[in-house]
Structures are given as C-alpha cells and as structure tokens.
C-alpha cells in the first residue's frame, strides 16, 4: 500500500518546465503568427479507432440505451427545429446539435446502420439549411433576436468527425464550414453578436468561443483552400471578442474561486460546464499566438481547478457553478464529458502525461458513476459521498434543483441527456494519436481497442489491444505493419517499478518510459509484432478533506458500497423547458406531458448505516481470475475486484439529508467494528468515496 502526500491535482513542476521549454523553441521559430503551430500529437480520423472487448460491449450498451432512442422518441431531438420539427428546449437550440456531436463517433465505431441513418439524416438537414450567406440551421424562435452562433459550434464539432469518418462527405462538409467561416467573420466584424439583455444564450456564446476556434483549426489543418490567413483572423476575432479565461478567471490571486461560489457571485465565468470547455482555450490559442504564457495558463488552470474543486473520481465539483471540496456537493454530467474532451485536446496539443492520466480517472470513475449500468438513466449531479438518490424536496446542499441527483431521463434539465453520449466515443477516438510528425503511433488512453490506419508517413498499421484494463493489469498488443515505425505506450504515473514489457515473447524487462512524456518507445518492424505490457497496480491512499482518504488501485477509485433499496416511476420531464415549449406553436400535445413512459426515474435509499469510518491498515484487495467481463460491466459487484476493510459507525451529522463534511479523522467508534466492501465507484449506486478513518487498535 502506498500513501500519497497530497491530493491529486499538481502537475510536476519539472515536467512543466521541460515541456514548456520544448514547445517554446517551436514558438521562437514562428513569426507574425501567419501560420498555426503544430500540436505535439495529431488526431487519428474518427472511426479508425474502435472499442474492443469489454469496451465494445460498453459501446453496444450505450447504443441501445437512452441516447440511442433520442431521434425516435425523445422530443427535444426527434422534434427539434434542427431537422424539421417545431421545438427545442430553449433559445439555445442545442439539443439536436449536442446529440449529433456525441453520436457521430459511436455510429461509425459500431458501423451500426440505424445509428448511421440517423446521423446521415441530420447531416442532410444541415446541408439543406445553409443559405448563400453561409448561415445554416434554424433562426431564433423570437425573430427579433440576433442569430446565435453557439449551437452551430456543436453541430460543426459533429461535422468534422463525420468528415473524418466518411471521406465521401468531406468535401461537402468543408464547403459548408468555409461558407460559415465567411458568415461568422462578418458577424464578428459587425459586433452584432447579441447581449445578455437579449438573452442568456448570448452570454454562453461569449464564453464558449474556443469551440469555434477548434473547428476552424481543424479546417485549417485538413482543407484550408488557401484561406489560412482568413481562418486565423476568425480565430483571433472569436478569442478577442469572447471572455478572457486567461486573464479574468484562471489567475490564482483571488480571481479564481478557491471555495464554493456563493449564489450571489454565480456567473458564466464560474459556471462549471463553461469552465470545463475553457480548460482547452489557451492550448488552442497557443497554436495561433505561440505565446509561452498561453502554455503556462493551460497548466495553471488544470492545477488550480483540481486543487480547489477536484473530486477523487476525477472530475471537479460543479453543481452548476464551481462548488469547492465538499464531497456531498455535486458534479454535473455535462462537466464530466466536456472536461474529458478538453483534456483530450490539451494532451494532443501540449502532451502533459498527467492530463491523460486525469482523463482516464474521469472516464473510468466519474462517467460510469453517473449512469445506470444499462445506460438508460443518468444523474444531472453525482456526489462522491452519495447516501441517497431522491427528490431533495426539503432543500439541497448544491445550487441546482432538488431533482438533480435522481437517476432519470432528464433530471433537473435536458442538457446532460443530450450531451452525455459524447464521453465514451470521443475517449475511444482519441485513445490513439499520431506522433513524431506522423511517423509514429501512440496509445495514450489505455483500454481495449482496435486501430486500422495509414500513418501520414505512408505506413499502414493495424493494432489490436486485448485487455481487461482498468480491471486488469496486462495489455496485449498485436501490431501488423507494412513497414517499420515507432510505437509508443503512455505509462501511467501510478505504475510501480515492477511493471514490465515483453516483445515477441522475449523475457519481460522493466519499463523505461521517457521521464518527461511517460511514453514507452517500441520499434515495430514490418510484419507482425506482439507486445505484452504488465502494469503493476498497488493500493494507494490519497489524503482528502479533514483527514479522510480516497482509495485507489490503478486508475480506479474504490468507495464503500452502501446497501440500498430501489423504487421507480415513469420519467419526469424537467419543468422549465416544458414551460418554454408551451410558448411555441405547433408543439404536439404528447411533447408537453410531465411524464414520459419510455423510461424510468430511479430512487435509492440506504438500508444500512452510511456513517462509516474504516481502518486503512486493514484494507485487503480481492480479485477473481476472469477471462472476460460481464456485459453490464458497471453493474453492482460485476467487476472482478473489490476491497474489504474493518469499519465502524461514527458520529457524522447530515446537512439537508446529505452527509456533511467528513468528521476529522481519526474518529472514535460508536460501537463494534464490522467489515465493509469497497468497489470501483462506477459499480456503486450509493457510496462513501471520501472515507473517514479510525484505528482498530
């Protein structure tokens, strides 16, 4: 067992200096900012990487769950104004764009004809909607308002994935993007972008400018058509007229909130999903400016966000706005998937290995903890210490509505219903990257996958990764290559000295990853190469609030699993959007009902004590030897690993029905000790993830 000295948030100072130095040398060679700087890694086209093994089952679960049905019966997508319907859940007009952005990758990863037909239908509507000005998509419901750019950013994020996955559509998609770039350039030049007085939707647009920059950088990299200068000018305009994340939030001198944001100070700049998206803003800006301060800001913002608001399951605390370190405060599902995407882009651009490790922590802990195992229900807010899931009608410890931690169809608000599906597919898409200017491949987010690609250097490569990771310690690679190339594997920082690698059946030898990049280099020859990687996983203890602890093994967080009962009702729809669509014409009456009988809301109440402390010295790890994992891998007790520990009840007050701060450890037992089971947090429904301690002796 290893006890860590501090909470997980701080990127190594030495590594930062080396990485910044190597990138700064590139910056110095660039003058006048007339070209974009190259990222450290290059994305592999969507659809080239596919989930495999248990991850393929997970993809099928999602494809048959709540998200897959949205074009069929979920009104805000099926009847969206984006493809001929009468409604959206707000003037943001983002439901169908969110769905499309998340669904393109999965449709092509599974090559599922039903999913592909839905995405193609949406694509055709988008094509047909574009006007000679370059504008595409619907106009505001209130015709007196300025056009809103924001939902087009999400749509275009889906479009660029589509262009990668289906080259037959690439030219038409690039046509659309170039025409829209012309429209957006004129829009920014006119300054007619909308104001807060005209609607909250325009303030979201102001703070989410980095999504437009990302799309325009893709266009610059893939099909610029001689418009490089114009595209860079648009990127600069979007940044200049948007909120300055670099100067006006991510500065740790009192500007950035170090505790939960009070309701009176809540705003777009400390709104959790906006913060999640903005984690990548200056990494993208660095490609335009070449400024070292943009690199430094990117490192600093990740560090300060997790230092002051980080949760042990990977995500940061945000129950609409940044919420501090209290383990009963919530974390929004949208924040999880947007943070994952930002970390994927940050890593590809600048290459800090800690970001990839943090990405895995979110994917393998936060993501599954916020959905039912069949992916038919989700929470708006998850809690690290989650002792009940129900309507908090007597009050809440968070700043969202009382229904926010219910597992349901659209608890609190529909945005996470339509946005959560991007998490897994983009994680798989970005798990491999081109390295060394397109001459090498890197496996950076570990898990079972297949890859078929032609490297920019001309080498054809097929890679299969067989593994139970993160539920297993061994990753077996089979690589077929048309010519020699370098293959990299990112070695996690938690792996111990006993980790080994074997190539083509050779004796296992100790890993020797690069000290700065954490990449293990393997020279692959033409033909077939077999690699067996063993990652030594040890139980690790991380200090948390008031002397409580978080317990890890590898990337998985283990939480005390609380016994509970379950009740269900038909899914309740969020009242606010229903009030909005009642103002719209031609809405079918079936879309205005308060309950939807296609799925259910789930409520869980503990049936045994939750006020528990453990003696960490008694932790014992248990593992079943298995060759494959259950189809519903995140079901309770479905994972082949668990831990046990000696525990006892302690004096631990509640706050509005939720667990208050963990009492200061070590604690005094109220009675006899007993054994508790800790499971991967994604396999728990109710749990204690920041665990107070006591001593049996």
pLDDT digits 0-9 by tens, 280-326? 999 999 999 999 999 999 999 999 999 999 999 999 999 999 999 99
Residues 6+ apart with CB under 8 A from 128: none
Q: Please tell me the predicted confidence (pLDDT) of residue 348.
A: 99
Taking only the tens place, the pLDDT of each residue in 90-143 is 999 999 999 999 999 999 999 999 999 999 999 999 999 999 999 999 999 999
The three-class DSSP label of residue 625 is coil
Q: How far apart are CA 40 and CA 36, in angstroms?
A: 12
Nearby residues of 626 by Cβ (< 8 Å), 6 or more positions away: 468, 640
Per-residue pLDDT reduced to its tens digit, 157-194? 999 999 999 999 999 999 999 999 999 999 999 999 99
DSSP strand pairing (539-543 vs 2-3): parallel
Specify the DSSP class assigned to residue 586: T
Question: Which DSSP helix (H) or strand (E) runs through 463?
Answer: strand 460-467
Confidence of residue 593 (pLDDT cuts 50, 70, 90): very high
The whole-number pLDDT of residue 450 equals: 99
DSSP label at 587?
A: -
Kindly tell me if the per-residue pLDDT of 197 is higher than 90: yes
In terms of Cβ atoms closer than 10 Å to its own Cβ (0-12, 13-18, 19+), residue 280 is buried
Tokens of 300: 């600093």
Section 575-580 average pLDDT? 98
- pLDDT band at residue 6, thresholds of 50, 70 and 90? low
Q: Give the E-state strand segments of 88-183 in sequence order.
A: none
Q: Are 140 and 147 in contact (CB under 8 A)?
A: yes
The answer, yes or no, to whether residue 23 has pLDDT greater than 70, is no
What's the mean per-residue pLDDT of the chain?
96
Q: Name residue 602's beta-bridge partners.
A: 407, 568
Does residue 333 surpass a pLDDT of 90?
yes
| pLDDT exceeds cutoff 80 at 562 | yes
Stated as kind and residue range, the H or E segment containing 214 is: helix 209-222
Confidence of residue 583 (pLDDT cuts 50, 70, 90): very high
Among the ranges given (16-20, 30-34, 334-338), the one the predictor scored with the smallest mean pLDDT: 16-20
What is the pLDDT, as a whole number, of residue 24?
47
CA 404/CA 396 separation, integer angstroms: 9
For residues 520 and 511, the answer to whether their CB atoms sit within 8 Å is yes
Q: What is the pLDDT of residue 7?
A: 61
Band of residue 239 on the pLDDT scale cut at 50, 70, 90? very high
Cβ proximity of 684 and 655 under 8 Å: no
Which backbone phi and psi does 456 adopt, to 5 degrees? -55, -25
Alpha carbons 112 and 106: distance in angstroms, whole number: 9
What is the DSSP pairing of strand 485-490 with strand 440-443?
A: parallel
Quick check: 413 and 435 in contact, CB under 8 A? no
> Which residues sit opposite 443 in a β-bridge?
432, 489
- The whole-number pLDDT of residue 34 equals 81
Q: From CA 67, how far away is CA 99, in angstroms rounded?
A: 8
pLDDT for 270:
98
CB 47 within 8 A of CB 354: no
Tens digits of per-residue pLDDT, 501-558? 999 999 999 999 999 999 999 999 999 999 999 999 999 999 999 999 999 999 999 9
Domain ranges of the chain: 51-242, 244-373+413-430, 432-467+473-534, 539-688
Question: Considering only 67-71, 378-382, 400-404, 647-651, which range has the smallest mean pLDDT?
Answer: 67-71
Q: Answer whether residue 32 shows pLDDT above 70.
A: no
Instruction: Give the residue-averaged pLDDT of 42-71.
Output: 96
Closest to 105 in 3D by CA, of 463, 452, 433, 428: 428
Question: Which residue matches tokens 């055709």?
Answer: 124
Q: Per-residue pLDDT averaged across 437-451, rounded?
A: 99
Q: What is the pLDDT of residues 397-409, one digit of tens each?
A: 888 999 999 999 9
pLDDT at 4: 73
Q: Where are the alpha helices (DSSP H) in 396-517?
A: 415-419, 423-429
Asked if CATH classification 3.30.450 holds for the domain at 432-467+473-534, the reply, yes or no, is: no
- Contacts of residue 249, defined as CB under 8 A and 6 or more positions apart, other chains included, come to 243, 255, 256, 269, 270, 275, 278
CA distance 562 to 473: 27
- Give the mean model confidence (pLDDT) for residues 627-634: 98
Of 66-70, 214-218, 520-524, least confident by mean pLDDT is: 66-70
């Amino acid at each position: 067992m290893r006890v860590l000295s501090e909470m997980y948030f701080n990127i190594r100072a030495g590594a930062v200096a080396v990485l910044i130095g190597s990138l700064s040398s590139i910056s110095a060679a660039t003058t006048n900012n007339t070209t974009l700087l190259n990222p450290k890694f290059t994305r592999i086209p969507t659809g080239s990487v596919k989930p495999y093994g248990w991850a393929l089952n997970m993809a099928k679960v999602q494809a048959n769950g709540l998200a897959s049905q949205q074009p069929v019966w979920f009104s805000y997508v099926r009847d969206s104004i984006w493809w001929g319907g009468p409604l959206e859940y707000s003037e943001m007009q983002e439901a169908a764009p969110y769905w499309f952005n998340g669904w393109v990758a999965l449709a092509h990863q599974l090559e599922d004809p039903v999913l592909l037909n839905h995405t193609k239908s949406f694509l055709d509507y988008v094509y047909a909607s574009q006007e000679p000005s370059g504008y595409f998509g619907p106009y505001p419901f209130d015709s007196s308002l300025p056009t809103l750019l924001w939902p087009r950013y999400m749509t275009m994020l889906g479009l660029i994935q589509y262009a990668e996955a289906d080259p037959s559509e690439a030219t038409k998609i690039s046509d659309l993007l170039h025409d829209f770039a012309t429209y957006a350039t004129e829009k920014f030049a006119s300054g007619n972008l909308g104001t807060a007085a005209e609607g909250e939707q325009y303030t979201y647009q102001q703070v989410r400018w980095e999504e437009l920059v990302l799309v325009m950088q893709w266009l610059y990299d893939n099909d610029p058509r001689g418009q490089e200068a114009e595209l860079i000018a648009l990127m600069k305009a979007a940044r200049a007229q948007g909120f300055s994340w670099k100067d006006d939030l991510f500065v740790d001198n009192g500007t950035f909130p170090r505790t939960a944001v009070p309701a009176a100070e809540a705003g777009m700049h400390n709104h959790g999903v906006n913060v999640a998206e903005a984690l990548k803003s200056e990494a993208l800006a660095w490609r335009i400016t070449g400024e070292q301060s943009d690199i430094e800001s990117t490192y600093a913002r990740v560090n300060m966000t997790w230092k002051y608001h980080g949760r042990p399951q990977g995500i940061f605390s945000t129950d609409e706005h940044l919420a501090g370190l209290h383990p009963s405060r919530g974390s929004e599902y949208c924040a999880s998937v947007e943070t994952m995407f930002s970390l994927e882009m940050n890593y590809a651009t600048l290459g800090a290995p800690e970001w990839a490790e943090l990405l895995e922590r979110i994917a393998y802990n936060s993501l599954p903890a916020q959905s039912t195992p069949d992916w038919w229900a989700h929470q708006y807010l998850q809690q690290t210490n989650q002792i009940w899931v129900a309507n908090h009608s007597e009050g809440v410890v968070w700043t969202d509505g009382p229904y926010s931690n219910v597992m349901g169809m659209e608890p609190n608000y529909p945005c996470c219903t339509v946005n959560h599906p991007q998490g897994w597919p983009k994680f798989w898409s970005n798990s491999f990257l081109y390295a060394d200017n397109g001459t090498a491949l890197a496996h950076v987010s570990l898990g079972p996958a297949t890859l078929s690609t032609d490297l920019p250097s001309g080498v054809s490569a097929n890679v299969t990764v067989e593994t139970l990771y993160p539920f297993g310690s061994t990753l077996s690679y089979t690589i077929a290559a048309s010519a020699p190339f370098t293959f990299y594997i990112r070695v996690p920082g938690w792996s111990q000295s006993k980790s080994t690698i074997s190539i083509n059946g050779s004796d296992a030898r100790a890993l020797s990853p690069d000290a700065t990049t954490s990449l293990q280099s393997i020279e692959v020859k033409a033909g077939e190469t077999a690699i067996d990687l063993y990652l030594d996983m040890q139980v690790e203890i991380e200090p948390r609030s008031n002397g409580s602890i978080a317990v890890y093994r590898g990337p998985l967080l283990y939480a005390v699993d609380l016994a509970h009962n379950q009740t269900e009702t038909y899914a309740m729809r969020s009242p606010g959007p229903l009030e909005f669509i009642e103002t719209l014409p031609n809405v079918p009456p079936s879309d205005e009902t308060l309950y939807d009988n296609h799925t259910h809301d789930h409520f869980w109440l503990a049936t045994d004590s939750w006020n528990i402390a453990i003696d960490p010295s008694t932790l014992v790890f248990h593992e079943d030897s298995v060759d494959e994992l259950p189809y519903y891998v995140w079901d309770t007790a479905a994972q082949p690993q668990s831990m046990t520990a000696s525990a006892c009840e302690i004096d631990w007050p509640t706050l509005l029905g939720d667990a208050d701060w963990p009492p200061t450890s070590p604690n005094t037992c109220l009675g006899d000790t007993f054994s508790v089971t800790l499971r991967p947090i994604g396999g728990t429904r109710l749990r204690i993830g920041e665990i107070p301690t006591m001593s049996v002796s």
